[in-house]
Structure 1
Amino acid sequence: MVLLLLASPPHFRSGNIGAICLVLWSFIGCLGFFVNAIVWWDNVENKAPVFCDIWAKLTIGLISGISSACLCINRRLKIISSARRTTVSSRERRWAVWIDIAIAVIPPVLFMALHYTVQGNRYNIFDGYGCQAATYTDWHGVVEVYLPPLLLGSISFVYGGISIYNFSARRRQFQSVLQQSGGGLNTSRFIRLISLSLLEMMLTVPLAIWSIAYIFRYALKPTLSWADTHADFSRVDTFTGEALLASGGDIVSRATLQRWIPVFAAFTYFCFFGAQEEALLSYWKAFNRVKGARFGKKARADA
């Protein structure tokens, strides 16, 4: 998690909204799942209700957030690779930033809010996994929770394919196009960004397809009224390890895969951008700050 944040300053400085949101969602996911694994290891006690309320909603936005960030990246790369003119006004750049923010932020926030309409109880607690969002899996739940990552990922794949085609068709003039587009892009960073986002989609899209297929085959429930869906809403359902294994393993497999998606996202981000010159400079600056703070305190103590 620390290396993920240390490798991200170049994108913060260049204002790459998609990459910034990908870093933030990956960090939130890694931190949240780590806390859950520690606190609820071998128990299902309702130890932190407020934390679970927050985390249950964040898990709904997590996969959509990563998918939205990748869509933002691929859309921006598609626009840049398709550009017919090499100059962009400052007004156009500001407008592009606001559009990127809307694409990366609005979908996960909207889906977290919509989740309440299909939230059957406060939250669930899985042994070894911690707090989980409670979703009533009728067709509304499928459309509002499980379908959005699939749609976002599919659109992102289309943008990525167009970007790759444009790169292949305009390779000779591509470097000059990237330099004029702003944002500190060059051919190497363009390839790494598009590879990163497509790799993320290769994990989130199959998860969405698997989840939807599983629900339609085994877990699709009849549509109920608002009152019936939210009856006894304040309850917290707990599932011991034995209960999870008795479910047939599908719930455990989905929970495990969901846990590892932000880890995969963070790892792949670091692999693509963690060894860049700017990232190495960030590591060195961080090391010097820590070293200076440590030896500064020691010097004051000796004085």
Structure 2
Amino acid sequence: MQTEIPVLSFISAVLVLFPLPWYCRAGNIAAMSIGIWLFVVNMINAIDALRWTGAYQIPSLFWCDITSALITAVNVAIPAACLCICIHLERMASFCQTSTSITKRRRILLECLICFGVPLVYAALHLIVQPRRFDVYENFGCRSATYPTVVALFVVWIPPLVLSLLTIFFCGITWRHFLLHGVHFSRTRASSSLTSGAYIRLVSMAVSEVICTIAATVVAMAFNLTLGLAPWADFTRDLTEVLSFSSAATPKSITAMLITEWAIMVAQSFFFIGLFVLGEEGRSRSHEALQVMRRALSFCGRRSTCIAELKGTSMTEWYVPLCH
């Protein structure tokens, strides 16, 4: 996995940036935040996999503090953003939401708070059940440590599950409204960026993302609670302590959990970009990107030809255009 993790993580990080301009123009802060969080965590996974290949020393405490907190925050960031998407779509499909500049600004502000503020608060609350500063694993990098107690259930693992289940619930209501008012919705939204196809893709994306979140949370709970819940009375905290594990010293269950979490993050990234590319806007963007790549390759080829022709010419000849 030493090659697959950085390569696939870098590819995923680049791809999830692709739909962001369209979501920005549409004012879809929640969908934008999913792309931003996926980009950040994929970049962290790629850099950590390269930085800690065959090593488990700690070159930078600050880097590990930031990245371990962001990896923790993404556990609620994605389901929170998906919940915002489904609530917004439900209100639009039921025609309960009036489209004014004031309501749009309020929605954008609320989605910013939920999609970015709530995950950071969640990462801060993780300190309650964090016995040490962080753990470092060879080939994987830094991760937050969690003391497996009843408190950890409510602080760490239940919030992502609750947000994911709420998202699925609202997706069901959203789909029901769409089936009841689909024709009217298509007519009223014909000139809008949110067409029926885009509506269905957003609902599908939200469901796909939260299913992945549920899977990741269940896997983390299963591996962390293998030996059962520890008594809270035995909990001690030393935020100056850091544990480093070589690949040989890392338990197989922890290695399996880290690989599973990475694979789920890559899957979420491909769901995010894949459902966008299925739409007309995504296909047009793909065509534009291919055109840009073709022009870039053509320019590089012409430049190489010009350089080859310039070799051996005199200074006065450089003023004569050799390539047209």
TM-score range relative to shorter protein: 0.7 to 0.9
The aligned residue for residue 223 of structure 1 is 232
Q: Report the number of matched residues.
A: 294
The within-5 A match list for 1:99-118 is 99-118=110-129
* Shift in alpha-carbon separation, 1:286–1:138, aligned structure 2, 3 A: farther
Structure 2: distance between partners of 1:138 and 1:163 = 36
State the structure with bigger RCO (CA 8 A, min sep 6), 1 or 2.
1
- The separation in 2 between residues aligned to 1:286 and 1:120, in whole angstroms, is 50
Tell me, in whole angstroms, the C-alpha distance in 2 between the residues paired with 1:2 and 1:259. 16
- AA paired with 1:236? V
* Counterparts of residues 1-303 of structure 1 (less than 5 Å): 1-84=13-96, 87-178=98-189, 184-224=193-233, 229-231=236-238, 233-244=239-250, 247=251, 249-274=252-277, 276-280=282-286, 283=289, 287=293
Amino acid at match of 2:196: T
Tell me how far apart the structure 2 counterparts of residues 106 and 289 of structure 1 sit (CA, whole Å). 41
Q: Decide which moves more: 192-201 or 87-96.
A: 87-96
Q: CA deviation at 1:190?
A: 0.6
Tell me how far apart the structure 2 counterparts of residues 267 and 292 of structure 1 sit (CA, whole Å). Answer: 29
Cα deviation for residue 9 of structure 1 reads 1.0
Q: CA RMSD in A?
A: 2.8
Q: TM-score, normalised by structure 2?
A: 0.81
Superposition TM-score, scaled by structure 1 size: 0.86
SS at match of 1:122: strand
- 8 A Cα contact 2:148 2:225, kept in partner: no
SS in 1 for 2:55: coil
1:131-164: CA deviations, max 9, x gaps?
1112222222222122211111011111111111
C-alpha contact 1:174 1:187 (8 A) present in aligned 2: yes
Q: Kindly tell me: are residues 97 and 295 of structure 1, through their superposed partners in 2, closer, same or farther at Cα, counting changes over 3 Å?
A: farther
Q: Is the 8 A contact 2:223 2:257 kept in 1?
A: no
Are the structure 2 counterparts of residues 220 and 243 from structure 1 closer, same or farther at C-alpha, using a change threshold of 3 Å? farther
Give unmatched runs, 5+ long, in structure 1.
none
Change (3 A) 1:290 1:140: farther
